[in-house]
Amino acid sequence: MRLKDDTKINSIFKAATELTSEVGLDKLTMSSIAKKAKVAAGTLYIYFDSKEQLLNELYMHLLMGGTLSILPSIQHLPLKKQFQVIWSNVLKFRVSNSSEVIFMHQFRYSSYVSAESNKLDEQFISFINNLLDRGKEELIVKDIDNDLIIPMLYGYANTLARQLSLDKVDVTDEIINQTFSICWDAIKS
Amino acid sequence: MRLKDDTKINSIFKAATELTSEVGLDKLTMSSIAKKAKVAAGTLYIYFDSKEQLLNELYMHLLMGGTLSILPSIQHLPLKKQFQVIWSNVLKFRVSNSSEVIFMHQFRYSSYVSAESNKLDEQFISFINNLLDRGKEELIVKDIDNDLIIPMLYGYANTLARQLSLDKVDVTDEIINQTFSICWDAIKS
DNA sequence: TTTATAAATGAATTTATATTCACTTTAATT
DNA sequence: AATTAAAGTGAATATAAATTCATTTATAAA
């Protein structure tokens, strides 16, 4: 008997990601994914139960391979340095993977998103939460509810990366330093 | 002869806005808009050429009635105060008009958005640009490219307002002050 | 009142796209 | 090499939603 071909899932994911960044999530069709991935439309249903499942799997795949894997084991570094490493990684990753970021952004606010996808998202938030709490203990982070701080980091990263990608600016060290100084001044006490 | 009924456009806009916040832009259908607005499906096509036009008109309507009208005539106030007034207005408006904000957010990143809608958007950005430039002249704002600063303000406002709405937190003066201190520390030199 | 004209209706049509399925191909197992 | 079970195909089907249009209704003007 024949076995499933893992590289095929990659082509499917790649096709869906690129198409979304080209035409938008709302114009993304199963046939166009199939065509771009060079498989038959029916094949998509061997690997995924539905369009909804395909998109959720893709989202979780990108979240794990990208944003989450970025959280390095940097527990030993001083807090500010940890934030800086994360900021730099997130920004560089996002700008050099702009199709992925566009897909994630559009998917994140669509009605396709499942409970499971949502849960995975919270892992990243939770990591930042811990970092902020420690910063407050060390008295170097403003004593403001994390729920009021995190949207700044999250919203800024999203919006900035999207803008830099669209403008095809490449992320120099100067840009990283300048934008990080904005972030850090925002949250430091 | 019979005349068009302006209140009908309002019901249509209201229905489309609320439905988007309930089910998402990608599940928004012309029939559901018609049903909720208590008009026949065909009636929508008397007022609008297409779904695309309806959504763009709605977006521009919200942008003008909401975000843009928020920019007050406060030219006489000191710069920091101007930012504070705008921040407070934007936040309060966004949280108390969460359906509108959800619609605008989902529409903004959809493929429906027309060149005209895009252009209107830039008015707001341009106002902030001027404010930042003056801040730099007065040496109270960081000497960093506006394109690196604005995404912070814009992304933070979006993400924060969305979060506050979802959590049904109401915008107290304390929240406004705390979040504004985050913004201001971020951009002040 | 009557007339004329445009608004309003909603069922019918068109169009688009997710999903299925009868069939073909592939490759692991015997 | 033969067997067989699952992958792969793509045209056909089902479904859903945008748009049209023949008809009815409301109202401004005569």
pLDDT tens track for B42-57 = 999 999 999 999 999 9
**Is pLDDT of B77 > 80?**
yes
How confident is the model at residue A103, as a pLDDT?
A: 94
Examine residue A115 and state whether it is found in any structural domain, yes or no.
yes
Reading the block at residue B160, the tokens are 């924060």
How confident is the model at residue B59, as a pLDDT?
A: 96
What mean pLDDT do residues B129-152 have?
97
**Is pLDDT of B19 > 90?**
yes
Domain residues for B67?
A: 55-187
**Is pLDDT of B41 > 70?**
yes
Examine residue B6 and state whether it is found in any structural domain, yes or no.
no
Examine residue B26 and state whether it is found in any structural domain, yes or no.
no
Binary contact (B147, A158; C-beta < 8 A) = no
Give the nearest partner residue to B151 out of A25, A109, A160, using CB atoms. A160
* Spatial CB neighbours of A48, under 8 Å, sequence gap ≥ 6: A54, A57
Give the nearest partner residue to B23 out of A111, A155, A186, using CB atoms. A111
Name the domain count of chain A.
Answer: 1
With 0-12 / 13-18 / 19 or more C-beta atoms within 10 angstroms meaning exposed / middle / buried, residue A11 is middle
Q: Read off the pLDDT band of B76 (50, 70, 90).
A: confident
Examine residue B7 and state whether it is found in any structural domain, yes or no.
no
Distance A136 CA to D12 C1' (A): 63
Examine residue B61 and state whether it is found in any structural domain, yes or no.
yes
Q: Which residues pair with A141 in a beta bridge?
A: A188
Examine residue A15 and state whether it is found in any structural domain, yes or no.
no
How far CA A106 is from CA of A59, A93, A111, A169, B53, in Å, comes to 10, 17, 10, 21, 21
Higher pLDDT, A46 or B66: A46
How confident is the model at residue A14, as a pLDDT?
A: 97
Q: How does the average pLDDT of chain B come out, rounded?
A: 92
Binary contact (A185, B188; C-beta < 8 A) = yes
How confident is the model at residue B164, as a pLDDT?
A: 92
What mean pLDDT do residues B154-167 have?
92
How confident is the model at residue A72, as a pLDDT?
A: 65
pLDDT tens track for B108-125 = 888 899 999 989 888 888
Q: What is the CATH number of the domain that holds A141?
A: 1.10.357.10
Distance A34 CA to D2 C1' (A): 34
Distance B27 CA to D15 C1' (A): 15
Going residue by residue through chain A, which has 189 residues, state the pLDDT in tens, using 9 for 90 and above.
677 778 899 999 999 999 999 999 999 999 999 999 999 999 999 999 999 999 999 999 999 887 777 776 777 889 999 999 999 998 998 888 989 989 998 998 888 999 999 999 888 889 899 999 999 999 999 999 999 999 999 999 999 998 998 888 999 999 999 999 999 999 999
**Is pLDDT of B175 > 90?**
yes
Per the CB < 8 A criterion, the answer to whether A62 and A17 are in contact is yes
* Per-residue burial over A102-127, b = 16 or more CB atoms within 10 Å of its CB, e = otherwise: bbbbbbbbbebbeeebeebbeebeee
- Termini Cα distance of chain A: 64
How confident is the model at residue B123, as a pLDDT?
A: 84
Examine residue B165 and state whether it is found in any structural domain, yes or no.
yes
How close is the nearest chain B Cα to the Cα of A21, in Å?
A: 10
Examine residue B11 and state whether it is found in any structural domain, yes or no.
no
Name the closest residue on chain A to residue B178, using Cα atoms: A144
